Every structure is written in structure tokens, then in C-alpha cells.
Amino acid sequence: MNLLEHFGLRALHKLDPEKAHDLSIRALSNGMVPLPGKPATSDRLRINLAGLDLPNPVGLAAGYDKNARVLPALMKAGFGFIEVGAATPRPQPGNPKPRLFRLTEDRAIINRFGFNNQGAEAIAARLAARPRRYPEGIPVGLNIGANKDSTDKSTDFATVIRIAGETADFLTVNVSSPNTEKLRDLQGADALAALLDGAVAARDALGRRPPLFVKIAPDLDEAAIADVASVALGAGIDGIIATNTTLARDGIGPRHAQETGGLSGAPLFAKSTHVLARLARQIDGRLPIIGVGGIGSTEQAWQKLRAGASAVQIYSALIYQGFSLADRIARELDARLAKEKLTLQELSGSGIDDWL
């Protein structure tokens, strides 16, 4: 982290968290954030993930750039891939404020945004206009949610795919946000199978066929993880993202523990990695898994890969460490792979038993 980034983060942390988030978006848009310009890459870091050619396996998780407002800048921030959204069929304001809480002492965040976004059509237009030329042309995916007032939330996913699917390099069905009522109910075996059937049909009807992922919660028990694995393998999707935020409040101080919403950041790491490893054991290499939840260092990215991930995503740690974190993790992963004479493929899943 350089001095400009250090003082910029200190200034942002003096503001209300949501105002700070919006200001960071504006700073990126105006070229005020130091960025590496292109993603770190090498023969060791390059990976094909469900048909996507990634320069490195360190991605940006959904939730930061909900409306795809700053893609040209994010594509120069060192990420190997980016996920924007969540997008819903219709625009919606989300839940009442305050809805974002910075837990500095815990290196954590609680949010209850509730899929605030400008709607699938507006987001699709920005995705269509994004840079395509290297080094900016890294894969950009769209996270998909359901409108809060929808009477049939499962059909909302297919609707967003029909509106925006052709503009994204991959699509993520988000059934795991804790901030939309009854959304997590769609992770049950029967409901998830029906939802994914509809999403796959909508994706297959597009002029192009972007990979389709499903994002799951870290609060699933063993039986639910087995159900998710079984449904995913039978649905014709291309991968799983594990995991979203948690409803648990383990590992944080009392100051914000009573706030409702999803907890992300450092306290989520162990919980989400346990779920990742259990899922990886069930999947047994038949689908790639993207590991997300609490990653704030190269060692933690390494452990996610050992637990069964093919690639990783970061988000909450950026609030405390800045955008230089993505480039640093990618470069340090490359150096460690070289030192230990491993490929990413050899590393992935090599430590599943350590996390079960």
C-alpha cells in the first residue's frame, strides 16, 4: 500500500460507510485511485475457468460495483476477473439507511443493502459498453438477484438473464443473500433445481452461452451442502461460488453484533472455507468452485485454493487494505507457486482434508 492509498483509506474511514463507498466509486471514475494498469499474469497464474481465460485467479466479488459504473477503472485494478451486481429485473432502492456498518476492530462489514440497483437494463447497457481490448478485456460477470416485491422470485433470475445475459462473460444466480426475504429458501433441493432449470433454459436461449454459476450461503448444514452439490451437478450449470455473507455473529465484538444483515470480512474466513471444502468433497472436481469469504492475504487465498477452489474473489478486505491488495495477492501467489514448484491445478483441492 503506497502513501496515497494509505491516506485515502484513512480519509474514507472518517465518513459514513455508505458515503465512503459511493465516494470511492467516484474516485475510481475520476482516475484518482492508483492502479497497476493491467493484471499480474504468468504461465503459473493463467487459468481457464469454465471456459473463461483468466490472467490470474484473483477476482472482485459482486457487491462493490453494483451498477457497473466503473468497469474501465476496475479492469485496470489487477483483478483476473470481475463480478458486478446484483442486478434485479426492475430498479429498486434497497433497504432503509443506515444499512452498511464498518467493524474496523474486526476487519469486517455488516450490510443489509437489499439488492439496491438501477435494474437489469441500465446495467446491461454499461456492460455492453465496457472495454474489450487487453489489458482491460478481462472477464466481467453479472450477479443476478430477485426484486424484493416479486411474487415469484425464481422467475426473476431468468428475466435478468434474458435482459442482460448476452452482455456478461458469466452469470451468477444469487440465492444466498440474507437481505431479501425468503431468497435463501430457494437453496432447498426442489426449489433450487426448478430455479436452475429456468436459469439454464434462459441462458441457453441467448445468442451466446456464458457460463452460469450459483452462489451459496455459508450457513448451510451438511445435508444442505450435499443437496446443493447434487442439484448443481444435475442442472447443467458451470460452477459454484462459495460463499456469500453469513447471518452468524461469531468472532466479532458487541458493538454491531445486534445489527441485522450479512457479515463479511475476516470473521467469515474459517466458516466459509469449511463450507467450501465440504462442497469440494461432494463435487469431486466435476465443477469448478470460486472461493470467497474473508480473504485478506495471500496465505488466505492459498488456503481457499487448497480447500478446493479453482479461483478466489475478494471484496471486504479492500475496505481496509485498498485496491493494491488484488495485485499483491496475485504476485505473491505467483512467487509461492514458483517456490513450491506447483501449478494452480495441483494446488486446488490439495488440502481439503485440513478443512473438513
- Number of residues assigned to the chain: 356
Please check if 294 is assigned to a binding site: yes
**Grid coordinates representing 47?**
487459468
Give the number of other CB atoms < 10 A from CB of residue 13. 13
Q: What are φ and ψ of residue 258, in 5° steps? A: -85, -10
Please check if 115 is assigned to a binding site: yes
Please check if 339 is assigned to a binding site: no
Please check if 280 is assigned to a binding site: no
Report the DSSP pairing between strands 108-111 and 262-265.
antiparallel
Please check if 179 is assigned to a binding site: yes
**What does the alpha-carbon distance between residue 330 and residue 7 come to, in Å, rounded to a whole number?**
24
Please check if 116 is assigned to a binding site: no
Q: Residues near 224 by Cβ (< 8 Å), separated by ≥ 6? A: 187, 188
Please check if 331 is assigned to a binding site: no
Which one is catalytic: 24, 154, 177, 348? 177
Give the number of other CB atoms < 10 A from CB of residue 255. 12
Is 154 a known active-site residue?
no
Please check if 174 is assigned to a binding site: yes
Please check if 243 is assigned to a binding site: yes
Following DSSP, what letter does each residue of 89-131 receive, concatenated?
SS-B--SPSP-EEEEGGGTEEEE---S-BS-HHHHHHHHHTS-
Please check if 86 is assigned to a binding site: yes
**Grid coordinates representing 322?**
485498498
Q: What are φ and ψ of residue 207, in 5° steps? A: -70, -25
Give the number of other CB atoms < 10 A from CB of residue 55. 23
Q: Residues near 234 by Cβ (< 8 Å), separated by ≥ 6? A: 193
**Grid coordinates representing 213?**
454459476
Binding residues for substrate: 66, 111-115, 174, 179, 244-245
Which residues are documented as binding site?
62-66, 86, 111-115, 143, 174, 179, 215, 243-245, 265, 294, 315-316
Q: Which residues are catalytic, by number?
A: 177
Query: Binding-site residues for FMN, please?
Result: 62-66, 86, 143, 174, 215, 243, 265, 294, 315-316
